[in-house]
Structure 1
């Protein structure tokens, strides 16, 4: 009794697979021309489609290939700004607005790396006055960065409250400020707006 039902499910799964292999020439809005399969038939069809590897080596290889493909997809999305394949940290309209807000403005913090290199060179030179000057310049730059963070953070918080009053914006300001530390050409996802172009 159970044997006959499983045979029917397997045969219907095979029929479904053959129908799926045929080219789709019909209108997507039109009726599909066949009855909706029963749950047992659909499950049997799904089981036949899944290829389970025979050994652990093959399973690990397939998992690595899947991870590699996923990473490549995310890297391409980070370069192109494709919202569908971005990592969870960068997804959503709120995060996109925060990125555009930062990318459309100049920030003191984005010059931190070149400035730090200049200060490091001055501090290596065995001249006391230059070493004192490099220390003072570094402290001054840090003060400017903190003030710029405050300015950018308050402006972004206000813009988020106006644009997304009902959305959860927790952590978005910190996310945007961390983006300002990176030089513009090194930011990922890539900037989608020009400087001075308001989002």
Structure 2
């Protein structure tokens, strides 16, 4: 008897609990609302698309076109650097040509006639004179080359000496190697000088 009563009470409490209404959302004691996740804004790629993306090559498909494009870009950069160096742009000059004093030295040499710049022309002519049938003509040709070399050296010493005084007055001091730099430029033909001359002959350098 007592066992049946306990079973009946248990069944009754269970039915009451099942029929009790759930509290509304937001009310005290109500369970929290499930958190909603924000969408990605794009559909999830399929497995086939993911595998295709992983198999995509790291290098471009048309290697020949990519290589040609790379060569063209390198060529344009090289031409731009050569043009900048010829114009005396400091961004493209090497350590040997950089600096305001070396720019002034270039303008100083380029603004005048230099005896040594014709040495190369005379040397080429002397090669033909050396094979001249007349021995006296060949001998005099060698003497002419030596005389031009001596005159060119004397002219370079005098030119750089005057330039050094102007540099000291303009900059306060002379950097090491600037005088030798100007002398070597005076021994180069004007059209072969690099950077290209930026002043005309007879024009006073600034």
Post-superposition Cα deviations, 1:43-90, rounded to whole Å, max 9, x if no partner, equal xxxxxxxxxx99xxxxxx9x9999766643331112222233222221
Considering only CA atoms, is the larger Rg found in Structure 1 or Structure 2? 2
Any idea what SS the aligned residue of 1:141 has?
helix
| Residue 189 (structure 1) aligns with | 195
Provide, for residues 19-50 of structure 1, a one-character-per-residue CA deviation record: whole Å limited to 9, x for no partner.
Answer: xxxxxxxxxxxxxxxxxxxxxxxxxxxxxxxx
Decide which of 89, 96, 106 is 2:103's aligned counterpart. Answer: 96
Give 5+ residue unaligned stretches, structure 1. Answer: 1-52, 55-60
Which residue of 2 is the match for residue 80 of structure 1? 87
SS of 2:195's equivalent? coil
* Partner secondary structure for residue 89 of structure 1: coil
TM-score in terms of structure 2 length? 0.60
In 2, Cα distance between the equivalents of 1:67 and 1:171?
33
- Equivalent of 2:186, from 172, 175, 180? 180
Query: Scaled by the length of structure 1, what TM-score is found?
Result: 0.62
Find the partner of 1:137 among 140, 144, 152: 144
* Structure 2: gaps of 5 or more residues: 1-57, 60-66
